Amino acid sequence: MRRAIAYTAFACLMLLGTACGADTIFGEKTNPQAEIELGLAASKYYEQQEGLSTNKEAQARVDRIGQALVAYLDKKMYPYRFKVLSPNIINAFCLPGGYIYIYQGLLNALPDDDAVAYVIAHEIAHGYNRHWAKRTENMASLSLFMGIVSAITNDSSVANRTMLLTYFKYSRDDEFYADMCGMNYMWEAGFDLAGALEVMDIFVGMQKHDDTPEYLSTHPNATDRAAKIKAQISELEKDKPRIQKPAITSEAVDAALAGVVGKIPSLQTAQNQWYPLAVGNQWTYQITDASAKTAYTTRVVAKIAVKENAIYRMETSFGENMCVQSQMLATESEVWRRARPNSPASPWVPEFVLGENMPEPVTKGGASYEFLGKEDITLSCGSFPSALKIRKTLADNGGIYDLWFVKGVGLVQRTCKETGVTETLVKYQLAK
């Protein structure tokens, strides 16, 4: 609904064709203080509509990285503010006056501080260069604009005016320029420029799917951006002296990671031969019961290094309109899952125990696991000899599940004895 309102108002204004300079806000002369006040009004609107994240560690992380970047700006027009919005979506934006927002979903997708620094630096560059103001050059005078907005939305507040700005795309040149400036900010502040390429790798992966986030749809192609970023890294490394990266206490690092991956169980992660986790792996399953068939796809989209451990971010898609995120880690004999990455309180719980030498059932995390031997299994996606068969019995409701795992492939079939529902692997792709 908000998008329809924004484009309707924009179309009306473009038809009017009355130009005003880039040093105006909808026809009014402006200065940094006026822009700060405008941004403050708009920030209240967004924070009320979207909700600020309650993840204190994530907020501290974003503020720490943002302020480290701002410290090296040659001109500080605004008291830059950095905040995390709670929705689990891939997005970030900058309002007038240096108000910069990053959504929890995007923050969760970024592997380390250098990747976060790239996104924040890119948004700082939009604000520093006042790219938002260029989008008002063809707008009509304030009074006429306000009349249109009031008629469409029944709200003539300054927040509503500024809210519309975030729906108007920056030009392709503005986006590339923000990348260039942002990379310079990162370099000046001592962040590793490889963080920008890590972000581009994630974005390239997302653009391969039909569910490309809105944030990427308003930017140039990620592959093109990555090529320009690589060229700029070469130039910076050749021509510009580099300072030491800002010092971060081990406590701050631990807190930042805790905000992304929660409290990790006391385990030593390792590759599990029966459930391989690697970025790029994906599995598609068909669900069959007595009355219907449906399917879902689970894929590994990112790896987060936490000291000696490796955490993997997972996405499970059900059709075109529903995508559920989770995190997983593995040991040599177990697989653990964290179901709600947005919530710092979301616990890690055992998902599978995969020992093939269990003489007795193993009880862990509210379920017991029993090794039933090995079986050959043939599916539409292939024939698999010596699949590991495990029976999982839930303690709370007594539900019984039989699971088959294939070495180097993962879970290939799961059946529920009570309901008769079967999940069968129909397609898979493993990273090389």
pLDDT at 326 over 60: yes
Q: What is the pLDDT of residue 175?
A: 84
- Rounded to 5 degrees, φ, ψ at 330 are -135, 150
The domain ranges of the chain are 2-251, 263-429
CA distance 400 to 393: 5
pLDDT digits (tens, 9 = 90+) for 212-250: 555 555 566 777 888 888 888 888 877 666 656 555 565
pTM over 0.75? The answer is: no
Cα→Cα distances 268→22, 114, 264, 332, 426, Å: 56, 25, 10, 9, 32
Which pair of tokens denotes residue 32?
A: 């940094």
Q: CA Rg, the chain, in Å?
A: 25
Question: Which region, left, alpha or beta, applies to residue 98 given φ > 0 means left and ψ of -120 to 50 means alpha?
Answer: left
Tokens of 63: 């503020």
CA distances from 413 to 293, 372, 378, 405 (A): 15, 14, 10, 7
Judge whether residue 274 has pLDDT over 90: yes
- Domain 263-429 annotated CATH 1.10.1200: no
CA pair distance 390, 402, nearest whole angstrom: 6
Roughly what angle, to the nearest 10 degrees, separates helices 222-239 and 172-189? 40
- Between 348 and 359, name the one with better pLDDT: 348
The pLDDT confidence band at residue 188, using thresholds 50, 70 and 90, is confident
| Tokens 């792709």, located at residue | 429
Residue 75's CB: how many other CB atoms inside 10 A?
Answer: 6
Alpha carbon distance 311, 389 (integer Å): 26
Query: Could you read off the pLDDT of 1-31 as tens digits, one per residue?
Result: 333 333 333 333 332 222 333 344 444 445 6
Pairing of strands 81-85, 362-364: unpaired
For residue 151, name the pLDDT band (cuts at 50, 70, 90). very low
Contact between 359 and 345 under an 8 Å Cβ cutoff? The reply is: no
Mean predicted confidence (pLDDT) in 338-346: 78
Range from 101-110, 134-143, 288-297 carrying the lowest mean pLDDT = 134-143
pLDDT tops 90 at residue 32: no
Give me the chain's average pLDDT, please: 77
pLDDT of residue 142: 40
* β-strands 293-306, 362-364 pairing: unpaired
- Whether 144 shows a pLDDT value over 50: the answer reads no
Q: What is the mean pLDDT of residues 385-408?
A: 91
Average pLDDT of the residues in 155-184: 67
Tens digit of each residue's pLDDT (9 = 90 or more) over 94-131: 888 889 999 988 888 886 888 999 999 999 998 888 87
Q: Is the pLDDT reported for residue 48 higher than 90?
A: no
Compute how many other C-beta atoms are within 10 angstroms of the C-beta atom of residue 222.
21
Q: Percentage of residues in the chain with pLDDT exceeding 90?
A: 25
- Contact indicator for 333, 356 with CB cutoff of 8 Å: no
pLDDT at 148: 43
